[in-house]
Structure 1
Amino acid sequence: MSPIWSSYYGDCHSLLFMVDASNPTQLSASCVQLLGLLSAEQLAEASVLILFNKIDLPCYMTMEEIKSLIRLTDIIACAKQNITTAEISARKGTGVAGVLHWLQNQHRASS
């Protein structure tokens, strides 16, 4: 993550964090980045949607596998933020409507 990203946190009310569900070797790096975002004081009030992308590929990990590997239950329990998860395929559009609906609801709630 770029060191200047924190300068954009000030007006952030919603955070989309995408994880490549087909790449288990990058999962720990994604988890570290997520923990860094969740610990940022400026994002303490932001709602978070974690997107598990590439569910259309035959090699994608199941939600149960990912949740276990990154200890998602523990992360959610310790986070200040409201965290939601979704499985999507950006390439095929699967789940994207739900993401847009989530964003719309978050925008209404913060207005």
Structure 2
Amino acid sequence: MAQRKITIRELGGCMGPIWSSYYGNCRSLLFMMDASDPTQLSASCVQLLGLLSAEQLAEASVLILFNKIDLPCYMSTEEMKSLIRLPDIIACAKQDITTAEISARKGTGLAGVLGWLQATHRGSG
């Protein structure tokens, strides 16, 4: 089986002003939200909406990752989806949007992320 090369770049929220310089050739977008910090949820949602409205990302598949589910104070996926009005975002977005719960620190859910990446890039050169 032929191997594929996938380049992953981590661009933190404070790097938002330069995100657009990385949009070219982007076929997948992993957007991480902190499930343990409700005070940052609205700012994250605004950043997500900016990405979804970028014409260069119109064809990209999007995986929204709700991170830090290992912490005792994390919000459930359903709470987060409700607070950011995710069903409305999905209805209006051009992109295919999927969500997943993860703990980057403990590795929980990361196999699913890898599976999503593989499925998203299957058949694309």
Q: TM-score range by the shorter chain?
A: over 0.9
C-alpha distance in 2 between matches for 1:109 and 1:18: 26
Q: What count of residue pairs does the alignment treat as equivalent?
A: 111
Aligned to 1:88: 102
SS in 1 for 2:17: coil
* 2:48 equivalent among 27, 30, 34: 34
Unaligned runs of 5+ in 1: none
Are 1:79 and 2:88 matched, yes or no?
Answer: no
Are 1:45 and 2:59 matched, yes or no?
Answer: yes
Aligned to 2:84: 70
SS in 2 for 1:3: helix
C-alpha distance in 1 between matches for 2:123 and 2:32: 22
Counterparts in 2 of 1:11-22, with a 5 A limit?
A: 11-22=25-36
User: Identity of counterpart residues, as a percentage?
Assistant: 86
Alignment RMSD? 0.9
C-alpha distance in 1 between matches for 2:85 and 2:47: 14
* TM-score, normalised relative to structure 1: 0.96
Are 1:23 and 2:37 matched, yes or no?
Answer: yes
Residues 75 and 109 of structure 1: CA distance in aligned 2, closer, same or farther (over 3 Å)? farther
Instruction: Decide whether the 8 Å contact of 1:12 with 1:43 is kept in 2.
Output: yes
Residues 83 and 109 of structure 1: CA distance in aligned 2, closer, same or farther (over 3 Å)? farther
What letter is aligned with 1:45? E
C-alpha distance in 2 between matches for 1:68 and 1:5: 26
Q: RCO higher in 1 or 2 (8 Å CA, sep ≥ 6)?
A: 1
Unaligned runs of 5+ in 2: 1-14
Residues 23 and 109 of structure 1: CA distance in aligned 2, closer, same or farther (over 3 Å)? farther
Shift, 1:103, TM fit: 0.6
